[in-house]
Chain A
């Protein structure tokens, strides 16, 4: 470990010496940086070199490194393979690649560092994004023999999107090109042109050899023509203070602290701006205002809270605030909107589909959200914009999003903390995507709901409870036949009904839609909205759609009130449906003439807990109708 302590110091002076040392440590600032590069660019070797040269390795760690270098090393006999210091997973050591971010810590006389070694492979881009989201600087490695490659451009795009402010291009393996100045300058010039194009303003190019250590921590004797700083020297001097452009106070409420009747504190971390007692604050999205009475910590009350500090605020008035709200400076408020435009990086195996509902986490708020418009996808390798219907794993897109309620936010360019969000898959709970907000969209703010005097109960009278009977099942499972017969029976009983059939709606309202996953989601969204209007009209709505995805059926259910949505699962086996094939569609699909056909080459997700299950292969239509009528009576729908 790097210290300037002298082992020979007399014990009496030792305590003073340690105190002085610790004071220096605590006064140092911290720089978080990532390293990225392609396979074999020597990224892990570079970090190993930094740790090794900064004497941040212990003897036992060196001993096990020597042993491992013999077993897995790729640097040749008798040479330490420094990459093995950071590739910590067994699979990484075996394959010689980096799969996930590794965080390492080292300290120099001037500064403390956390370095995140991020993977270079395209398939692990999401792990690189994880590392970049908290980095102040990025070190991009290129091999001097290869120059700027597709991967370098991809990494640069991610770094630029994630708002990493300082970019270093480390041209590595200079030893392998005879320390050639001309090679270095050509690569540096190439990169500068590219960086400027994607909006990276500040680039420092440094010729290095991680293998030999030249220009990593000590100036190179081989490259006297280079007059700039060493890599470490540069990292020690770049501006680390995460001075946010945002000057106004922001704090998302994490947890409400109520130990007793007399104390109510709002816990959170200051995301921007300073706060003093007495300051006027607003609680968003509601907008109530109050003043800060106390800033509480266990060590005593504070008069000022700084960005990054975790505090508990007590307000002067009895105002309601809870997790998900944001307390902000009343005089410098963020945007509050339920629609905005953002860059999204998709990180899930399941593609992002416009219209599908996800959970969005921004600060401490969790809301329902959908991409309403995918404006374009950005090819991270070429930076070209292209039209896209969906985003696959590791794709980047520029989208409009709509939330189910307004939230406060800033532009990501102004604040990483209050301008960022993640998207969560409702079914798997996976963190499926992340986003950087560009600007709010105003189109929703001038449209207000008109409340009418009559409600659906009035429209339905005492005749019936309006509801949606949602038939789902494979093509040929019998949905339409049962729905049709059921509607006749309800009509005979004097009820008011409407039937929405998949095929019929596709002739009109949805004739612009095809059968891709994206279009299926939009198809269902429109039908769900129409059936909601019909429930408001007081009708019993029979919807007969394959509706293969659970998520969209859940969305349809969420549009109406509890008890107004009955999911009816036509549980007819695929073989039976295929044997019936009333429209000859299975035959076509099997012949490859009908792509995206549910059950053949597009998935059907059966319901987890349908209100009614009909066994289409075992029961006759009349029996099934009777079963549904019985259930409607039991539920007092009719």
Chain B
């Protein structure tokens, strides 16, 4: 880690990912780093996450890292590379592909796995595909349940994973704010929010019976600002969709939806317009609202976020249901 990362403005991740290269930091570092008198805020968060990842590697037989391709996943992956260096992370990546992700996400995913030399598994719920489940035809609730939650459970069961990393943060949502870092799941993947294991000090307890599993959230104590600041400091590649540029969008019920392919049926009178937009979160493109923006560099994105009056999940159609909807989905096995 750089001593004072902010004196050194690294190339923004946009340029790195845009150039087709996703190598990480190549700045000329001295052979021996001097350590500052005390750890910075980001160094402490980084150390905590690495500690959690190493606990998982040591305590479980078959862990897996859920890789959703978003900015939090990018940070999670970067931390995993650090945690086990000079070894590679001792677990594969799993992407649950709903088949409705932005095309740029899929390209980015494949490039990251290839460049880092990691084992990437992609799971698609084939039953759902056969039934033609999609966000446009079936709505966000059915689509998310079948293509995300059920698909995830299929993949975890099929491979017998006993621990699964996710990138969720406690500052994202109220029920996440209540969840443990090592979060126990029954053999049917259920979360019991009223009966969670006590979790004390930094003693993460992962003992389970066969069939049960633990979801692990190494980024629990990170905030959205920490994530962006760390991406900036470490020059971590992220999907270009986070950076503003002219994109074809239609406005529906106050939400800007990007026309990413020809599967999005246009309503009568709807004509896609080219607008300067970017995304604060990424998911299935028909369910993810863009924001009008000209922020095309990391400092601009961070500035825009700091001045924003809306939370990042505002852009997610899925979260705008009842107050307890996330809790209910999580109990069913959603990440």
Contacts and interface: CB of A to CB of B under 8 A. Distances in A.
A93 interface: yes
Interface stretch (B15-23, B148-156, B194-202): B194-202
B177 A1 contact: no
Contacts, number: 238
A302 B2 CA distance: 12
Contacts of B177: 86, 88, 102-104
Interface string A1-31: 1010101000100110111111101111110
Interface residues of A, number: 92
Contacts of A59: 309-310
A309 interface: yes
Task: Give chain B's interface residue range (CB within 8 Å of chain A).
Answer: 35 or more
Contact of A308 (B47, B205, B207): B47
Nearest to B175: A88
Contacts of A129: 198, 200
A534 interface: no
Interface string B306-322: 11111100100000000
A18 B299 contact: yes
A126 B198 contact: yes
B131 interface: no
Contact of B193 (A3, A100, A304, A430): A100
A347 B198 contact: yes
A365 to B, nearest CB: 11
Contact of B35 (A104, A257, A305): A305
Given A105-B171, A129-B198, A310 B35 contact: no
A60 interface: yes
A504 interface: no
B179 to A, nearest CB: 9
A57 B247 CA distance: 30
A477 B287 CA distance: 65
B4 interface: yes
Interface stretch (A138-146, A292-300, A548-556, A619-627): A292-300
B158 interface: no
B221 to A, nearest CB: 6
Contacts of B199: 130, 431
A29 B41 contact: yes
Interface in B19-55: 25, 29-35, 38-44, 46-48, 50-51, 54-55
A19 B297 CA distance: 12
Contact of A60 (B38, B81, B310): B310
B327 interface: yes
B300 interface: yes
Given A104-B177, A300-B30, A309 B43 contact: yes
B122 interface: no
B101 interface: no
Nearest to A114: B221
A257 B84 contact: yes
B175 A89 contact: yes
Interface in B217-242: 220-221, 223, 225, 229, 232-233
B323 interface: yes
Contacts of A100: 178, 193-194, 196
Contacts of B229: 22, 25-26
Interface string B73-98: 00000000111111110000000000
A88 B297 CA distance: 35
A3 B306 contact: yes
Contact of B300 (A14, A86, A241, A431): A14
Question: Which 6 A-B residue pairs are closest in the complex by CB-CB distance?
Answer: A88-B174, A310-B50, A298-B85, A90-B324, A58-B311, A429-B207
6 contacts: A5-B306, A11-B300, A18-B306, A100-B178, A102-B178, A267-B54
Given A59-B309, A416-B201, 12 more contacts: A14-B300, A25-B41, A89-B194, A100-B194, A114-B221, A254-B54, A296-B86, A297-B33, A298-B82, A303-B35, A306-B35, A420-B200
